[in-house]
Amino acid sequence: MDGATTDAIATAAIRMTELPKIVRQRLRAQPPALGQFEHPEADVLTAFAELCLSPAERDGVLRHLALCADCRELLALALPPTTATATITAEAENEPVSNNLSSRTQSYQSAGAKFGWPNLRWPSLRWANLRWAALAAGIAVAVLIVRPSFEHSSKPPVHVAVQAPAPSAQSSPAAHDVSGTSSEASPEKTAEAKPGALGTRDRLASTPMIAQASPEAGLKAPFAGPLKKQSLSASKLATGGAVSTPALNVPKSSSDVEASGAATVPAAASSSDSNLIAQDAAPAIVRAKPAPDDSLNSETEKTTALVSANKARPASQATGMLVARNTASIPATLQTNANWTIKAGVLQRSLDGGQTWQDAARADHALLCYANPNRGPEVWAGGQAGTLVHSSDGGKTWSTILVSSGTAQLTADVTHIDVRSPAEVVLETGNHESWSSTDNGKTWEKK
């Protein structure tokens, strides 16, 4: 550790310990009020640690903890380990017990210092974080530069369905799993529709498509009939993790939604697209079914019918979620100024300033939090067991997002969603994990 860093830490230490000694003495002296509080039970303490208590209950627990050293000790022991500590602990299982055990529980801060990183005072300014920030900034710049041209080329959307590429024989096993029944698409278009990797990737971002999860998953987007609640857990089982799961973009407008239905399977059948996603280990984003939309044009309906004929599967096999009730008739102006709330684990929306509320999204697990930046069309909602849903059209259609990065998958409760920019989303979880995406939820990184 260099001298400057040591000085900084020493300065900070002096500054942090300016508490008069008498304050410590009086803090330590337990007031008689302790007797009026019962020790919180294990489940309440757990809910406190996972930030699941109501404000009133949380305040009660805090008042007790402020006075009770035993419960503070229990809480500290019961906190989930940090990622770094967990890794060290896992390694320790194979080590002799005689090793220096105290060193295993050092947090990432001291681990960073140990490996020679400059131990900057503010953790987010460390080199490891700055490296990722630089990478994220680079990706954002690249997307901004490249994306507009492909957005232009992706119009009109229906053509995507016609020109969607068919699978190639060289597709990897993972890609083959992902593409599933891709050979049923339009093989004669293979040559002209096989773009380069970058073009394909960007087209994925700019052109609405739905990828086939797996033959078992049977992802399909029937446009007829009301939306049905579907099994998220089933989708997770069927897709089996990030590597073999499909990915698709979230439409930016209602026209994209229409196009996604039209282009669903042929586009998904592109093994090169699927392969690309599989190689990138992108998380799966599964299309929820939009409500029947009278605005669908006849060509779209025709294409959808063809798709359905080729790819029709029982709705019970489809992956995804959700409910969106009678939203097609809601004016777009109101959709972007809706009020949102979560009641009984269901995301509700009010279009009349909070006088009446309608269920907007419901998942297999209770939803706990939501984000609607600037009351715009982008709505995110998170819930128990890693549930994350997203709508980019004010709640008209919803996508279930399976958050994963490499082999790690988000399974904890999503307790907070922070949309920092149109593309940057950060999730906080009940077990104190932090997941971030810089591409509007397509790929995620665990911090």
CB of 262 to another protein, least distance (A): 34
Q: What are phi and psi of 324, to 5 degrees?
A: -145, 110
Q: Which of 4, 97, 145, 169 binds another protein (CB under 8 A)?
A: 97
Does 133 bind another protein (CB under 8 A)? Our answer is no
CB of residue 219 vs another protein: minimum separation in angstroms? 23
Is 51 a residue that touches another protein (CB under 8 A)? yes
Window of 52-60, 160-168, 270-278, 284-292 that interacts with another protein by CB under 8 A: 52-60
The smaller minimum CB distance to another protein, of residues 110 and 149, is found at: 110
The structure tokens 């109101």 sit at: 334
Minimum CB separation from another protein for residue 377, in Å?
Answer: 27
CB of 62 or CB of 224, closer to another protein: 62
Residue 7 interacts with another protein (CB under 8 A): yes or no: no
Contact of 393 with 355, CB cutoff 8 Å: no
Asked if 72 interacts with another protein (CB under 8 A), we say: yes
d(CA 369, CA 244) in angstroms, rounded, equals 28
Query: In which region does residue 51 sit, left (phi positive, over 0), alpha (psi from -120 to 50) or beta (all else)?
Result: left
Residue in 18, 188, 192, 294 binding another protein, rule: CB under 8 A = 18
Q: Which of 227, 141, 213 lies closest to 179 in space, CA to CA?
A: 213
Contacts (CB under 8 A) with another protein, residues 106-125: 106-107, 109-110, 113-114, 121-124
- Mention every residue, 6+ apart, whose C-beta is less than 8 A from residue 87: none
Quote the least distance from Cβ 39 to another protein, whole Å: 10
The residues in 407-446 that bind another protein, with binding defined as CB under 8 A, are 412-413, 415, 428, 430-432
Per-residue mark of binding to another protein, 351-380 (x: CB under 8 A): -------------xxx-x------------
Amino acid symbol at 88: I
Report 214-243 residues binding another protein (CB under 8 A). Answer: none
| Per-residue CA distances from 127 to 63, 106, 116, 118 (Å) | 38, 19, 11, 8
Which range of residues in 97-105, 196-204, 304-312, 350-358 is near another protein by CB under 8 A? 97-105
Tell me if 166 contacts another protein by CB under 8 A: no
Site string for another protein, 75-94 (x = CB under 8 A): xxxxxxxx--xx--xx-xx-
Nearer to another protein by Cβ, of 53 and 284: the residue is 53
The 8-class DSSP code of residue 283 comes to: P
Instruction: Name 193's Cβ contacts closer than 8 Å, sequence gap at least 6.
Output: 163, 164, 165, 166, 270
Cβ distance to another protein smaller for residue 104 or 189: 104
Tell me the torsion sign for CA atoms 310, 315, 318, 324. positive
Q: Is 169 in the site for another protein (CB under 8 A)?
A: no
Q: At what angle do helices 55-67 and 42-49 cross, to 10 degrees?
A: 110
- Which of 69, 133, 137, 334 is the binder for another protein (CB under 8 A)? 69
Among 34, 73, 191, 406, binds another protein (CB under 8 A): 73
- Cα(139)–Cα(328) distance, rounded to whole angstroms? 35
Burial 286-322 (b: 16+ CB within 10 A, else e): bbbbbbebeebeeebeebbeebbeebebeeebbbbbb
429 close to 412: Cβ distance less than 8 angstroms: yes
Residue closer to another protein (CB basis): 14 or 169: 14
Closer by beta carbon to another protein, 15 or else 152: 15
**Number of residues located near another protein, criterion CB under 8 A:** 90
Q: Do 366 and 383 meet the contact criterion of CB atoms below 8 Å apart?
A: yes
**Which of 4, 3, 16, 5 minimizes the C-alpha distance to 110?**
5
Footprint (CB under 8 A) of another protein, residues 299-358: 343-346
- Neighbour-count burial of 96, counting CB atoms closer than 10 A to its CB (0-12 exposed, 13-18 middle, 19+ buried): exposed
Q: How far is the CB of 289 from another protein (least distance, A)?
A: 20
x-or-dash string of contact with another protein, 19-48, rule CB under 8 A? xxxxxxxxxx------------xxxxxxxx
The least distance separating another protein from the CB of residue 338, rounded to whole angstroms, comes to 21
Which pair of structure tokens corresponds to residue 406?
């490499």
**Residue number with CB closer to another protein (286 or 346):** 346
Query: Which of 63, 189, 228, 313 lies at the binding interface for another protein (CB under 8 A)?
Result: 63
